[in-house]
Amino acid sequence: MYKTIFFAFVATIGTFLQGYHQAIVAGALLFFAPAYSLSLFQQELIVSTLLLGGCLGAIFGGSLCDLYGRKKALFATAIFLLLGNFILIEANGFIALLIGRLIVGLGIGIATVTVPLYIAEISPAKIRGTLVSKGQLMTTIGILVAYMISFLFAPEKDWRAMFGLGLIPIGLFFFGLFFIPESPLWFKGEILEKNTLKLFHSSIRKPIYIGLLLSIFQQITGINTVIFYAPKILQMVGNPTDEMAIFNTMLIGIAGVFFAIVAFFLIDRAGRRSLLLIGISMMTISLTFLCISLALNASYFALFALFGYVASFSISLGPVVGVMLSEIFPQKIRGRAMGIAFLANWVSNYLVSLTFLSIVHAIGIISTFSLFIIICLIALYFVWKMVPETKGKSFEEIQTFWS
């Protein structure tokens, strides 16, 4: 058991780095954007290019997992992250920042598929949800650490140091991979062509459909608009200085970590479906409160609403989607099926993040978050009608359910 926990911990350093690189740009953007006189569109491109890399990494990662094994896919994650991070540290303008973020995104995209897949396959059914959700917990910790580092270096406006400290967890991740085994469920020699056809077999159309929609809803309910642009959102409602906006964003990160820990303990007790229904309902209420706060220009109420929204996401769509995607697909195509689901996730993330500032500029921030409220309500109805409970079930029992 302790070995399994250690192996899972090493793998989840990859998701820690996902959270770190998604959030570190929120602080760094405040300083490299004026340093290189970047336009609004250029800023959106730098933020969202990480997500474009994630799209490519998700597709590549799913096939890499099934062809060469989960462990080699994790090594590929580490190599892309290392290369991309060095480029970001040495970046001297818009193009270099864009390339660095793209390469980091490739690594993160592979990690999003491989980490939950690897952990699910090495874990006993009774604690599988807990260990897989550890990945989302590490993502939220990565986000919080990124906010703290941004706050630490904000007075010096040292955005290179913000990126540079990411090399420490990358090094730990790379060397830790030498001490973990390959997944015992990886089918060596099972090549793509024969099993890819099974993606369209009638018995798995429903899990593919559910997996795709869960992945899309995780992003289009707006979470990464908060993760990427929280300082800018807070500046819109009365946080005048960069340091104060980053400090309050750090508090939001603390809320995310705390409730990710709550989800860590609940997911194998309360169940996946129950957490989704409760959490999405709370997200809807928090976004409604945020819109009211924005209309009243009440900065502290807006901050409280963002706390509630991030907390609600951290006990529901945040951890549960990764757990369910690692459970619902047949073994021999699990890597590729998860790759397709996470491709939908990254594409949705990319489109939302790329267009957020422009939509806010066009229709206003209140109308923008009102759209997210409507999407949350649709997601809530979908979970209520379509998503089954997988708590405590073996992979075989889940597949029998679909049949």
Question: Residue 328 carries which DSSP code?
Answer: S
Binning pLDDT at 50, 70 and 90, where does residue 403 land? low
The CA distance from 15 to 21, in Å, is 10
Helix ranges restricted to H, 36-93: 40-68, 70-89
* Residue 209: both structure tokens together: 């459909």
- Taking each helix axis from N to C end, the angle separating 167-176 and 2-35, rounded to the nearest 10 degrees, works out to 150
Binning pLDDT at 50, 70 and 90, where does residue 41 land? confident
Tell me, what's the pLDDT at 197? 47
pLDDT in tens, 169-223: 999 999 999 999 998 877 544 444 445 445 455 567 888 889 999 999 999 998 8
Give the list of residues 6+ apart from residue 364 with CB closer than 8 angstroms, or none. Answer: none
Residue 95 burial (CB count, 10 A): 9
Show me where the domains of the chain are located: 2-183+192-402
Tell me, what's the pLDDT at 194? 46
DSSP string computed for 117-156: HHHHHHS-HHHHHHHHHHHHHHHHHHHHHHHHHHHHHTTT
Question: Residue 38 carries which DSSP code?
Answer: -
Buried b (16+ CB within 10 A) or exposed e, 39-60: eeeebbbbbbbbbbbbbbbbbb
| CA-based end-to-end distance of the chain | 32
pLDDT in tens, 107-161: 999 998 899 889 988 888 788 888 888 887 898 899 889 988 988 898 888 999 9
Q: Which of 61-75, 208-222, 239-253 has the lowest mean pLDDT?
A: 239-253
Question: Domain 2-183+192-402 - what CATH class?
Answer: mainly alpha
The CA distance from 347 to 100, in Å, is 19
